[in-house]
Amino acid sequence: MKAVIVGAGMGGMSAAIALEQLGFEVEVYEQVTENKPVGAAISVWSNGVKCLNHLGLEKETAEIGGILDSMSYVDGFTGDTMCRFSMQPLIDEVGQRPYPIARAELQQMLMDAYGFDDIHFGKEMVAVRSDENRATVEFADGTTDSGDIVIGADGARSLAREYVLGGPVARRYAGYVNFNGLVEVDEKIGPATEWTTYVGDSRRVSVMPVAGNRFYFFFDVPMPEGVPFERGTAREVLAAEFADWAPGVQTLIAELDPATTNRVEILDLDPFDIWVKGRVAVLGDAAHNTTPDIGQGGCSAMEDAVALQFAFRDHPDDPIAALDAYQAARTERAGDLVLRARKRSDVTHGKDPEKTAAWYDELRSEDGTNIIRGIVGNIVGGPLT
C-alpha cells in the first residue's frame, strides 16, 4: 500500500510515521524549501502526547517538553493572583503529563523520526484527483505522484479540502490577533513551571515553559481584521496596547525579541463532516481549522494520524473502507473541539462583555476544579482517549 502525503506539518508528519508503522510505502511532499515552522510553540496536551508516544516518540517528546506543574490566572492590571492550582489532578485523571513544546523542535523531532532526507521539499501541489484505482497529485513543477491514497495535510488553506468538498470554503475571523514568541524564563513574569495567564479588558497575556529554560509567550488582542503590521514592531505595538498592565507584562514586553515575535490573525472554519472523496482524505487543519483557545488544533491533527492508522489496521486491504472508517472516527470529535475552542474564544475575548466579566469573577473563586474539568473534557475522546 502506498500513501502520498501532501504537507509536512505536524499532521502530515504524524500521519507519515503512523502509516510507515503499518508497513506502508510513504512519500511526503512539502511546498516550502526548508523546515521553518510558523509560530513559536504549542501546548501539546495529554491527548497529543499520547499520540506522539504511540508513534514511538515518548522519550524524545519528554526531552523537548516543558514542565508544567501548575496553572494560574492573574489580574492583568493589578498583577494580583486570581487563582493558582496544581496540574497534578489533571495528570492523574488522564494518565499523561502535557508538554508545551517549541514548534521548531516538535517539527524537527517528527521529521527526524520519519527521515528528514526522505521528505520532498519545494514541491507545491497544484491539483489532486482520485480514480477507481489510484489517487494522484500534480505539482507546480509539472511532476506527479500517485498512490493507493493521498492524504491532504496541507493546512488551513488546503487545496485538498477544496477537492474533497467540491469547492473553496470561507474561513471566519475570530475577532482577535495573537502575538507569540519565545523568551528566556524570568520569574518576574511568572513561575518557571507554571502556565501563567494575565487577563483583563477581554485580552490575555500568557507564558508557559518549554524546554531549555524558555517561556512560550502569547498576547491576544481583539481588533478588526486587516490592521496593518510591520514585522519587527511588536514591542511598540504591545507596549501601547498594554501600557497600563501589571509589571510582569511590562517585563515580558521589554524582554521579547520583536524580530522573532509572530503576529497571527486568528481564523477558524465551521466543522464539516466530509473528509474523504474516493482515495483522497484531508487531515489536520485541512480538516478542522480551529482557534487556538483550547490548544487542541495540533493535538487533533495527531489524533487524526493515529485514527488513520487504526482505520488501515482494521481494513488493511481496502483503502476505501479504511478512509470511510477514518472519517467516521474523526469528524464528530474534531468538530466538537473546534466549537469548544470557539466558545472559549468568545468568552476570553469579550464577544459578550457580561460573560467575560462573569468569567473573571469565577476565576477569583476558582480552586482549579472547574478549569481542570474543562481541560479534561477537551483531552478525552480521541483514539487513545
Q: Of the two residues 75 and 138, which places its CB atom closer to ligand FAD in the complex?
A: 138
- Residue 215 φ then ψ, to 5°: -100, 135
Q: How many residues does the chain have?
A: 385
Residue 39 lies near ligand FAD (rule: CB under 6 A): yes
Residue at grid coordinates 508557559: 208
Q: CA angle, corner 293, sides to 287 and 297, nearest 5?
A: 25
Residue 299 lies near ligand FAD (rule: CB under 6 A): yes
Helix (H, G, I), strand (E, B) or coil at 3: strand
Residue 10 lies near ligand FAD (rule: CB under 6 A): yes
Report the residue from 125, 174, 276, 375 that binds ligand FAD according to the rule CB under 6 A: 125
Q: Of the two residues 31 and 70, which places its CB atom closer to ligand FAD in the complex?
A: 31
**Grid coordinates in use for 107?**
517539527
Residue 261 lies near ligand FAD (rule: CB under 6 A): no
DSSP letters spanning 308-335: HHHHHHHSTT-HHHHHHHHHHHHHHHHH
Q: In whole angstroms, how close is the CB of 318 to ligand FAD at the nearest point?
A: 25
Q: In whole angstroms, how close is the CB of 382 to ligand FAD at the nearest point?
A: 12
Q: In whole angstroms, how close is the CB of 304 to ligand FAD at the nearest point?
A: 8
DSSP letters spanning 166-196: TS----EEEEEEEEEEEEE--TTTS-TTEEE
Report the residue from 3, 16, 28, 30 that binds ligand FAD according to the rule CB under 6 A: 30
The DSSP call for residue 84 is E
Report the residue from 27, 154, 194, 303 that binds ligand FAD according to the rule CB under 6 A: 154
CA–CA gap between residue 189 and residue 177 (Å, rounded): 21
Q: Of the two residues 206 and 243, which places its CB atom closer to ligand FAD in the complex?
A: 206
Residue 65 lies near ligand FAD (rule: CB under 6 A): no
Residue 296 lies near ligand FAD (rule: CB under 6 A): yes
User: Alpha-carbon Rg of the chain, whole angstroms?
Assistant: 21
Q: Of the two residues 79 and 381, which places its CB atom closer to ligand FAD in the complex?
A: 381
Q: Of the two residues 102 and 301, which places its CB atom closer to ligand FAD in the complex?
A: 301
CA–CA gap between residue 171 and residue 156 (Å, rounded): 9
Residue 155 lies near ligand FAD (rule: CB under 6 A): yes
Report the residue from 146, 180, 206, 356 that binds ligand FAD according to the rule CB under 6 A: 180
